[in-house]
Amino acid sequence: MSNRITSLFNIQYPIIQAGMVWCSGWRLAAAVSSAGGLGIIGAGSMYPEVLREHIRKIKSSTTKPFAVNVPLLYADTEKVMQLLAEEEVKIVFTSAGNPALWTGFLKEKGMTVVHVVSNTKFAVKAESCGVDAVVAEGFEAGGHNGREETTTLCLVPMVVDAVNIPVIAAGGIASGRSMLAAFALGAEGVQVGSAFAVAEESSAHPAFKERIINAVEGDTKLRMKKLVPVRLLKNSFEEAIAMAEAEGANRTTLSALLGHARAKLGMFEGNMEEGELEIGQVSALLKEIKPAAVILEEIWQEFLQEKNRLKQLNF
Amino acid sequence: MSNRITSLFNIQYPIIQAGMVWCSGWRLAAAVSSAGGLGIIGAGSMYPEVLREHIRKIKSSTTKPFAVNVPLLYADTEKVMQLLAEEEVKIVFTSAGNPALWTGFLKEKGMTVVHVVSNTKFAVKAESCGVDAVVAEGFEAGGHNGREETTTLCLVPMVVDAVNIPVIAAGGIASGRSMLAAFALGAEGVQVGSAFAVAEESSAHPAFKERIINAVEGDTKLRMKKLVPVRLLKNSFEEAIAMAEAEGANRTTLSALLGHARAKLGMFEGNMEEGELEIGQVSALLKEIKPAAVILEEIWQEFLQEKNRLKQLNF
């Protein structure tokens, strides 16, 4: 029971929990890692000293491998990278930025490095910078998305053909069926965000989890393409953005509408109308709040079962 | 070697060539049907008497089953439906409209009816209207797209769970890998557009075919969402639309920019700058102009080969 991804991270199942602002602290990451996947602490919503605390807590709660995701968007990235070295973090996922910036530093410290990409060009670049794997993340994903809007179904085979390192598929994956689809496309692992955002151990506000499991088709839209593209759940804030965009709002107007700490307001503090609610399109398929270990196990069992169904197809 | 889709249409492979304006006349449809798939004549770009001629020509060139696709957008739909009955067409795919309008009429005439949907609601509605199968078409598809922007990876499992009739996946499928991914999601057939738009037998202008096989990631965008959403290849016309949309253009402005017969100008007459070039995101994966039979055979062989690869995975 192994492939290049399980070997790279020394994990049981090639299922990786995505780093997600305001959802993926040490509790969620520890639960996923303990259950045999790869848990990730999302550093995007943490001050450096908060991140340090989360790293220490996960280390005291599981001996299994875990990772830290660092979106390369923020001013304190250098401080964060130093901290990862000091705390002897073994696996780092970088995202939303240039893989040339930090891969060398992290590899020098002996870490395993994965970079998240939304196009082939950056996958090739990341490989040439020395990363150990790439996450190919499609249009349907929550969080920060690519401007090309390439879907997981189109993106994964292109990235698989373009690089030699293993590819982890992300965007639209929340079940064994979609995991199997990703493997059919050539991925060797999957990164699952939305399904773990509604895990019991996720630090998302309970009202946000409820909103996610009640989401239906068409409830998320990719917005703020002129600023930083992000997939948002419908609410008053999203409607204000949509209306401004329909009228041709520029970066300045969007920035002003977004203001400060809106993701925290929605995802962590539970303001379902005025907060920014980032989540994947696959939220329309999620129906229940469950422990992370159950989510992981259900994905894995369905993967095996559907793999068996395909095997028995009459072709 | 059979499933519900091959049985429904009495075909060898569960691969269906999409009806596409200005690409799928009788030559392409006959080539696909002769090779063991289901060829479709796209009525969307044909006056009724032109369509009649195409139906007669395909009948004189192959004894294999074929279908006609009727987008329910146009004023002469009633005339077209009467004509399909007169010409004793056996299989009809309806799209871009309400399945309640024509399914009863077509079923009364003894035809097999399939409706194209981009959300679960219309899939359920189509089933209740009596269609024999649905095509679930994702965001990445060319042609007329759903406003929900749900990708094939997210849409197909939802539709499969919502209906009892067989589901044909469309959008982003041009290879055996993506066909296998669709089957992993529960589809029993695939509808392939872009890959057949560049077939030798496609009636697309040679310059359009060249443009498609040279397309790269990000070269198509879903435009005109305020009018009728459609996926367009980048060119002067698309840039004019994009610029107008960035400035908040309304339906009237978009209609005026679109004008009349722009799809014909681009796709059939070969004006690569001023024409409307509708194509799927998967165009970025297409590299060659080939006979339709070769395209079909390559998809099928890769499907079998990848199915075998999955079977041997070390899990």
Beta strands in chain A, from DSSP E residues, in sequence order: 15-17, 39-42, 66-71, 91-95, 112-117, 133-137, 167-170, 189-192, 220-223, 230-233
Beta carbons of A149 and B282 less than 8 Å apart = no
A315 pLDDT more than 90: no
Tell whether the model's pLDDT for residue B315 goes beyond 90: no
Give me the pLDDT at residue B144, please: 84
Quick: pLDDT tens for B266-285. Answer: 999 999 999 999 999 999 99
In this predicted structure, the answer to whether residue B314 has a pLDDT above a threshold of 90 is: no
With beta carbons less than 8 A apart as the criterion, state whether A198 and A207 touch: no
Q: What is the CATH number of domain A4-204+283-311?
A: 3.20.20.70
- A224, two tokens: 């703020």
Q: Taking a C-beta distance cutoff of 8 angstroms, is the pair A21, A228 a contact?
A: no
* Nearest beta carbon to residue A217 from set B120, B222, B284: B120
| Residues B104-118: b if buried by 16+ CB within 10 A, e if exposed | ebbbebebbbbbbbb
CB-nearest partner of A177 from B185, B217, B249: B185
- pLDDT bracket for residue A1 (50, 70, 90): confident
Q: Note the pLDDT of residue A154.
A: 98
What's the gap in Å between the CA of B186 and the closest CA on chain A? 8
Contact A153 B138 (CB under 8 A): yes
CA distance B143 to B20: 7
CA distances from B168 to A62, A215, B295 (A): 44, 25, 18
Domain segments of chain A: what residues?
4-204+283-311, 216-282
Which pLDDT score is estimated for A169? Answer: 98
Would you say the pTM of this structure is higher than 0.95?
Answer: yes
Which of B1, B221, B310 is nearest residue A183 as measured by Cβ atoms?
B310
pLDDT single digits (tens) B217-251: 999 999 999 999 999 999 999 999 999 999 999 99
Burial of A3 (0-12, 13-18, 19+ CB in 10 A): middle
Chain A residues touching B183 at Cβ < 8 A = 184, 310, 313
Q: Does B49 lie at the interface with A, CB-CB under 8 angstroms? A: no
Task: Compare all CA atoms of chain B with the CA of A177 and give the residue at the minimum distance.
Answer: B185
Residues of A in contact with B182 (CB under 8 A): 181
Is residue A239 pLDDT above 90, yes or no? yes
Q: Is A154 on the interface with B (CB under 8 A)?
A: yes
Verify whether the Cβ–Cβ distance B148 to A218 is below 8 Å.
Answer: yes
Q: Is B284's CB within 8 Å of A158's CB?
A: yes
pLDDT digits (tens, 9 = 90+) for B16-40: 999 999 999 999 999 999 999 999 9
Q: What is the CATH number of domain B4-204+285-311?
A: 3.20.20.70
What per-residue confidence (pLDDT) applies to A265?
A: 98
Instruction: State the Cα–Cα distance between residues A75 and A97, nearest whole angstrom.
Output: 12
